[in-house]
Structure 1
Amino acid sequence: MASACPEHSLLTSRIVGDAEKRIIGGREFDFARQVAVMAIVNRTPDSFHDRGSTFALEKALERVKQAADEGADWIDIGGVPFAPGPEVSAAEEIDRVLPVVTEARHLAVVSVDTFRPEVARAVIEAGAGVINDTSGLRDPAMADAVAGTDAQLVITHSLAPPRTPWPSPRYTDVTAQVAGFLRERVALALSRGVRPDQLIIDPGHDLNKNTLQTLEVTRRLDEIAAVGYPLLAAVSNKDFIGETLDAAQTDRLSGTLAAVVFCITRGARIVRVHDVAATVDAVRMTEAMLGWRPPVYTRHNV
């Protein structure tokens, strides 16, 4: 099916770049006309939204199956939150995520949220198709861990290392600085052997950014997407939604869905969320309105 209009087709080509079609975790994605829904499964006792509800292995595996049944394209498994908290060793992180990777790889593309190269190597060997590095290659050895493999590497903007406080972040032009950071880290990854068709970028909604800064990045997200790699938007239930709507942590679904749809229209091609079923519906409807997918059936006034 053709794009909805020529102008949008040109915008899509400019935003996504030359490698719209990719094989990720053994599955094909065409980011010129498709958005991947990434479900969040945290094996942590202190994650900001689910508060440890999937920390137990049995609960994590149940959530993996539920997410796949609800239509998740990717499942992102985390063993250490970004926010400040107790130290978690690399060995403990591997123990947390590896059994979930093994079970999830048959159900969807598996992503692992980690900033440690040794964890990345272990989970890639176990079948993970994506390494989601929220530190933005703070350790350049992460690029070495991904180079020469079939895994994708998500490079995320942040100012501080994970688990490190960074109060009152300051920017002169937050969107331009985020885009510049991502260009620099992409260049670093390429210099260490990561292929262009392995790279994904993430502006890091709320990571070392206040609500006004995150809203501005979101409003100008097309400038980030113009860096030229598929863009991931991790907006689910975040504080910029809560502060904008005066909504408690458990009451941010409608704001999350609005942010997801807005981000797609500004160039996002992967969305990372907690509420999979509602997001899948919102994403598929957005794809249809953009002219990227046909309805499941047509009866009305036919």
Structure 2
Amino acid sequence: MSTINCKGTLIDLSTPKVMGIVNVTPDSFFDGGKLYNPDKIIAQVEKMLHEGATFIDLGGYSSRPGADFVSEEEELNRIVPIVKLLVDKFPDILISIDAFRSEVAKQAIQNGAAIINDISAGLLDERMLETVAKLQVPYIMMHMKGTPQTMQSLANYDDLLKEMNFYFSERIAKARSFGLNDIIIDPGFGFAKTLEHNFELLQKMQLLHFHDLPILVGISRKSMIYKTLDTNPENALNGTTFLHAFCLQNGAKILRVHDVAEAVECVKLISQFSINN
């Protein structure tokens, strides 16, 4: 499947696309609190769209390891007004909602969002898959164990890729049973995975093509990069770009990033390889 339907527009993923991250949370690991202001959010989104982002991923609940719990009411209060604001300002915008609660997904889509990006693949809200199927929007399902509060204590596997493929097979079948059409899978780098697991996953990512679905990769400025390089998130852009290139060569179709311009350049350069082969 090389296309997804976003608000009646077919997005061709045969050329990889870039998704810009916009967190309206006070505690995200890289940009927490920086965009806690409508004018700053508009400016950041405008910059990302200008730089070539196809999607904007909006999150109101930080999913970093050990993140604070956020009530559904608080998450809705953070997300829905910003969706309305962005759709009003940029009518053609394709907003992805980073949420695992079905009510947040429902209200965001009803107010103009286009995609649901669920870190739990429907496991943290039993109504999520049915809700997304009724909304008939693309659905990104990620591999994770537990919750953001517990996941790092669950990072143990006998065979990482085998267990991930079993997980995705089960979740895809469940989603299909509700009539959900456009599905994208996210390996979940850093979610219930050690540093060693993350690099094993990078090396074996091609094994995820078994599902014949587009793969989204979210590694931007993550600890697997800055801990390996003995630095911090602020200085992890070069490492991020290098691993983005590796992921694209191994079939990633969407890069979820903090730095859009650099990721778009990466896509353009890697695309030349396929043109000249």
Range moving further from structure 2, 92-101 or 180-189: 92-101
Q: What is the alpha-carbon distance in structure 2 between the residues aligned to residue 66 and residue 130 of structure 1?
A: 21
Aligned with residue 73 of structure 1, among 54, 62, 69: 54
Q: Does 1:55 align with 2:36?
A: yes
The residue aligned with 2:230 is 246
Q: Does 1:219 align with 2:203?
A: yes
The residue aligned with 2:68 is 86
SS at match of 1:64: helix
Show structure 2 runs of 5+ residues with no match. Answer: none
CA RMSD of aligned residues (A): 1.6
The residue aligned with 1:154 is 140
**Quick one: which amino acid aligns to residue 77 of structure 1?**
L
Q: What is the alpha-carbon distance in structure 1 between the residues aligned to residue 194 and residue 263 of structure 2?
A: 24
Q: What is the alpha-carbon distance in structure 2 between the residues aligned to residue 67 and residue 107 of structure 1?
A: 14
Q: TM-score, normalised by structure 2?
A: 0.92
Q: Does 1:261 align with 2:242?
A: no
- Cα offset, 1:165, TM superposition: 4.8
* Deviation sequence 1:105-136 (CA, Å, 0-9, x none): 42531100000000000011112111000012
Tell whether the 8 Å contact from 1:43 to 1:57 is kept in structure 2 after alignment: no
Show structure 1 runs of 5+ residues with no match. Answer: 1-18, 293-302
Q: Percent identity?
A: 33
- Cα offset, 1:35, TM superposition: 0.7
Aligned with residue 280 of structure 1, among 259, 264, 274: 264
Q: What is the alpha-carbon distance in structure 2 between the residues aligned to residue 107 and residue 39 of structure 1?
A: 15
The residue aligned with 1:178 is 164
Q: What is the alpha-carbon distance in structure 2 between the residues aligned to residue 26 and residue 43 of structure 1?
A: 27
- Cα offset, 1:79, TM superposition: 0.1
**Quick one: which amino acid aligns to residue 105 of structure 2?**
A
The residue aligned with 2:176 is 190
Superposed structure 1 runs of 4+ greater than 4 Å apart: none
Q: Does 1:23 align with 2:5?
A: yes
Q: Does 1:40 align with 2:27?
A: no
Tell whether the 8 Å contact from 1:45 to 1:52 is kept in structure 2 after alignment: yes
Q: CA 1:115–1:285 in structure 2 vs 1: closer, same or farther (change >3 Å)? A: same
* Deviation sequence 1:204-251 (CA, Å, 0-9, x none): 001110111011111111111221111100010011111222221111
Alignment size in residue pairs = 271
